[in-house]
Every structure is written in C-alpha cells, then in structure tokens.
A and B are shown apart, each in its own frame.
Chain A
C-alpha cells in the first residue's frame, strides 16, 4: 500500500529556509493516471493542526494564505517525492510537519499520512 515518509533537518535557525521532503512508496506521485493531491500539514507542540499547501498530480498548487508569502511546494516525479520550502522561519514555525495524500474527489480529505518529522526553530 502507499506509504509516505517525511525527511528534514530537525533544527533550523531563525530567518533561514526550512526544506522538507516527502518520499512516496507503493504508488506513483505523478502522471495522468495519478489523481491525488499531495499535502503538507503541521502541528505545533501540544496544539492543533494547520494545513499548509498541496500540489496536484498536474503540478498545480494551492497554499494557506497565512503562509503563502513564505512557502512553496513542488513535486519531483522522477524521485517520487514532493517537497516544501518555508522561508524566513521563526519560533512559531516549530512543529511536527506531516505529509499527506488526499483524493481528487475531495482534495481536503487526508486519507494517508506520513509519521511526521519534528522541526525546531532555534539559534
């Protein structure tokens, strides 16, 4: 079955750029036969969940307006991965970052999740 695995630096300094990658196994991330949305979602320590962005199989994207000025999402079908870049990070960006898949029939229903990667913003 499809599995997602996040990877990232763990610790990022304030004002730097955070780069995260989600590796997908058991299924293809791109191509005309793939009709899924690939998402990033985060959860600050002890708090709720915040949707960040998605990239569709066609490479179209959509972002949370609260983060849109600092974030970009992309996919690399050749590696079966998709990635997130968050610029100018600060302490409020400290969170567990999850990647997740949603279906074309309901782009915001997150049916498969990765285990998450912890990101701490600190000098």
Chain B
C-alpha cells in the first residue's frame, strides 16, 4: 500500500492568513493526488483533484501543487468557513489511501 503522510498534524491560524499543508507519498503517485475538506459531523468534500485541479464550486483561494511524491495545499486567505480538517489521498493505485489529516483551527 502507498502510505500518505501530512504535515503539520494541526495548525492554528487567523482569518486572512496564508495556510500551507504538505502531503508526502511513500512512492510516486504521479499527479493522482486529491485534497478533501471535512468539518465535524459532515462528509468530506473534494477540493482539489489531479494534484492541481479545482473541483467545481470550490473557491479559488484554494490551490494545489506538486507531483510524484510531494504535494501542497494552499489557502491564500483563510476564511472563517475554512476551519476544518484537510486530508490528502492518492488515487494512483489500489488500495486508495488517505493521509491522517491536518486540523486547521483558530488562534
């Protein structure tokens, strides 16, 4: 199985901050890397697919980059509704695997 790691595991930020979350795969996933947002009590929501493609309806303040084994999710100006947990996930090979998550909360 491909192991996914994320850093940091949690971070505290303020509205308007630029937030960066990194994800690393234990082997190459080319560009088959997705990012999800999850708020308490709700299902995950797809934000970014194919490492850098914004899912329909997702605000443009979210962006993704990277390829191979190292990836980044950036929120350019954090909004109140962005406090949540973020997961990366590889869709390169079965079994599809998720990172452990990064919790973004307020300072």
| A116 touching B43 in the complex, CB below 8 Å, given contacts A106-B91, A108-B34 | yes
Check A109 for interface membership: any CB of B closer than 8 A.
yes
List 15 contacting pairs A-B, 8 Å CB cutoff, sorted by A.
A48-B99, A64-B95, A100-B43, A102-B91, A106-B34, A107-B91, A108-B89, A108-B91, A108-B96, A109-B46, A109-B50, A110-B34, A111-B55, A113-B43, A115-B42
**Is the C-beta of A16 less than 8 angstroms from some C-beta in chain B?**
no
Majority DSSP secondary structure for residues of A touching B: strand
Tell me if A14 counts as interface (CB < 8 A to partner B). Answer: no
Chain A interface residues (CB < 8 Å from chain B): 48-51, 62, 64-66, 98, 100, 102, 106-111, 113-116
Q: B55 touching A48 by the CB < 8 A rule?
A: no
Q: Does B90 contact A (CB under 8 A)?
A: yes
* B89 proximity list for chain A (CB < 8 A): 49, 108, 110
Q: Contacts of B83 on A, CB cut-off 8 Å?
A: none
Q: Which residues of A contact B50 (CB under 8 A)?
A: 106, 109
Chain A CB within 8 A of B100 CB: yes
- Inter-subunit contact A66/B43 (CB<8 Å): no
- The reply to whether A98 and B43 contact each other, CB–CB distance below 8 Å, is yes
- Do A109 and B43 touch across chains, with their CB atoms under 8 A apart? no
Query: Which residue of chain B lies nearest to A96 when distances are taken between CB atoms in the complex?
Result: B43
Nearest-neighbour CB distance to chain B for A38, whole angstroms, equals: 14
Please judge, given known A-B contacts A108-B91, A109-B49, A109-B50, whether A114 and B96 are in contact too, CB under 8 Å: no
Residue of A nearest to B31 (CB): A106
Output the nearest chain B residue to A103 by Cβ-Cβ distance. B49
Q: Say whether A111 contacts B49, CB under 8 Å.
A: yes
Q: How far is the CA of A61 from the CA of B44 in the complex (A)?
A: 23
